[in-house]
Structure 1
Amino acid sequence: MSVDVAAEVTAAPAGGTAPRGIGAVPAPVLMLVGMVSTQLGAAFAKQLFGTVGPAAMTVLRLGFAAAVLLVFWRPSLRLDRRTAGAVTVLGVAIAGMNLCFYLAMARMPVGVALTVGMAGPLTVAALSSRRARDRLWAVLAGCGIALLGWQGGAAGISGLLIALACAVFWGAYVPLSARVGALLPGGGGLALAMAFGTLCALPAGLLEGGSALADPVVLAFGFGVAMLSSLVPYTCEMETLRRVSALVFGVLLSLEPAIGALVALLVLHETISPLQTLGLAAVVVASIGVIRGTRGTPVERDATSPDIPDSREQGLRQ
Structure 2
Amino acid sequence: MPCSVASIQIGAAIAKLLFGRVEPSTLVWLRLALAACVLLVVAMPRLRGRSPRDWAAVTAYGAALAVMNISLYQAIARIPLGTAVTIEFLGPLTVATLGSRRLRDWCWILLAGAGVALLGAAPSDLDPVGVGFAFLAATAWGAYIVLSTHTGRRWTGISGLAVGSTIGTLIATPVMLGAAGWVAPTDVRGLDDPWVWLIGLFVALLSTVVPYSLEMIALRRIPPAVFGILMSLEPAAAAIAGMLVVGEFIGPVEWAAVVCVMVASIGSVRTSHRS
Q: 8 Å contact 1:107–1:156 — kept in the other structure?
A: yes
Q: Out of 90, 98, 106, which is 1:135 matched to?
A: 106
- Counterpart pick for 2:21 among 51, 72, 81: 51
| Residue 304 (structure 1) aligns with | none
- Counterpart in the other structure of 1:215: 193
Cα distance change of structure 1 residues 70 and 239 upon mapping to structure 2, 3 Å threshold: closer
Asked if 1:187 is matched to 2:152, the reply is no
Q: Distance in 1 between matches of 2:270 and 2:30?
A: 36
Shift of residue 221 of structure 1? Answer: 0.8
> Greater shift after overlay, 61-70 or 40-49?
61-70
What pairs with 1:241-260 in structure 2 (closer than 5 Å)?
Answer: 253-260=231-238
Q: 2:36 aligned with 1:36, yes or no?
A: no
The answer to whether the Cα contact below 8 Å between 1:116 and 1:145 also exists between their aligned partners in 2 is yes
Which residue does the alignment assign to 1:77? 47
Kept in 2: contact 1:250–1:291 (CA 8 A)? no
Contact in 1 for aligned 2:118/2:254 (Cα 8 Å): yes
2:130 equivalent to 1:159: yes
State the shift of 1:256 in Å: 2.4
Higher relative contact order (CA 8 A, sep 6+): 2
- Any residues of structure 2 matched to 1:1-318 within 5 Å, and which? 32-78=2-48, 79-150=50-121, 156-208=127-179, 210-211=185-186, 212-233=190-211, 253-295=231-273
Cα deviation, 1:64-111, whole Å, max 9, x if unaligned, reads 122221111111223221111111111111100000000000111101
Structure 1 distance, partners of 2:142, 2:179, is: 27
Deviation at 1:280, TM superposition (A): 0.8
Could you give the per-residue CA deviations for residues 223-248 of structure 1, whole angstroms, max 9, x where no partner exists? 0111122344457779999xx9x999
The letter for the 2-side match of 1:264 is G
Change over 3 Å in CA distance of 1:294–1:67 after alignment to 2: farther
Is the contact made by 1:97 and 1:167 (CA closer than 8 Å) also made in structure 2? yes
Q: Deviations over 1:246-303 (max 9, x none)?
A: 9998776412211211121122111112111111111111112222322388xxxxxx
Partner secondary structure for residue 93 of structure 1? helix
Task: Write the deviation string for residues 7-46 of structure 1: whole angstroms up to 9, x where unpaired.
Answer: xxxxxxxxxxxxxxxxxxxxxxxx5554333222111100
Change (3 A) 1:76 1:253: same
Paired residue type of 1:52: V
Asked if the contact 2:2/2:233 (under 8 Å) is kept, the reply is no
Q: State the partner residue of 1:3.
A: none
SS at match of 1:295: helix
Letter in 1 for 2:13: A
Deviation, structure 1 residue 151? 5.0
Quick one: percent identity of the two aligned structures? 45
Deviation at 1:146?
1.2
Whole-angstrom distance in 1 between the partners of 2:233 and 2:112: 14
Q: Which moved more, 1:159-168 or 1:177-186?
A: 177-186
RMSD: 3.0
Q: Please, what TM-score do these two structures have when normalized by structure 1? A: 0.75
- Give the counterpart letter for 2:251 in structure 1: S
Alpha-carbon distance in 1 for matches of 2:147, 2:212: 18
Structure 2 unpaired stretches of 5+: none
Aligned with 2:273: secondary structure?
Answer: coil
Q: Does the CA contact (< 8 Å) of 1:38 and 1:230 recur in 2?
A: yes
How many residues align structurally? Answer: 267
Unmatched segments (≥5 aa) in structure 1 = 1-30, 298-318
